[in-house]
Amino acid sequence: MKVQAYVLVETSRGKHKDVEAELRKVPQVKSAHCVIGPYDVIVFVEGEDLREVESVVVDSIHSVDGVVRTTTCLVI
């Protein structure tokens, strides 16, 4: 069973569209949307296991220029 998570992303001011575009290039990212509210982008991630999801968040999402902070919500 695949592991899924919503990742709530805070970006630097004015970087939300650039961050969204970069995150859409990550294979495990199934969707990414700019939103209004306390977060700037919400990303839906799917991986084979928890380690893969962790790797996507830590290695792929956090490395995007403009990402300030994330909150990961695992789907149960």
Using alpha carbons, select from 1, 55, 10 the residue that is nearest to residue 29.
Answer: 55
pLDDT at 17 over 90: yes
- pLDDT band for position 20 (cuts 50, 70, 90): very high
pLDDT at 70 over 90: yes
- The separation between CA 63 and the C-alpha centre of its own chain, rounded to angstroms, equals 11
CATH of the domain at 32: 3.30.70.920
Q: Domain tally for the chain?
A: 1
pLDDT at 8 over 90: yes
Range of 37's domain? Answer: 3-74
Tens of pLDDT along 24-69?
A: 999 999 999 999 999 999 999 999 999 999 999 999 999 999 999 9
